[in-house]
Amino acid sequence: MNELKAEIIINAGIRIAQQNLANAYVLKKGDIDAGSIFVKVDTLDGYSKLFSRNLSYDFMHDKTFIQFQDLYPNQKIETINVDNRISKEISIDRDCWVIEIEDKNGINPFENLNC
């Protein structure tokens, strides 16, 4: 199975964010082919959300798909704490990508990529 390259996923998510008039930035470039991806969604009120790319497998359809898991579901997390978590993740995986989205509604444009 050929997995979609990290850089292609990131470019698609950034394009969706920009179409929705949200600012999107690559804070850290990772491995172009297979780096893990972290998406920070800054709600511009001192709080942020953090998502991580996960690969899942659908046995019914014999297909692998990408999901972005909320690392702090149903919680308001101060941006400083999200930034600290990102720093720890970078120290563990130097090849990871970190993308920041500025969206007052906290929408993660990567969630519905369907890839």
Q: Which domains does the chain have, with CATH numbers?
A: 6-102 (3.40.1530.20)
Supply the pTM of this predicted model. Answer: 0.88
Work out the percent of the chain whose per-residue pLDDT is above 70: 88
Residue type for 79, please?
A: T
63-78 residue pLDDT tens: 666 789 999 998 989 9
Report d(CA 92, CA 79) in Å as an integer: 20
- pLDDT at position 86 over 80: yes
15-53 residue pLDDT tens: 999 999 999 999 999 998 888 999 999 999 999 999 999
Judged on CB neighbours under 10 Å (0-12, 13-18, 19+), 35 is buried
- pLDDT at position 1 over 50: no
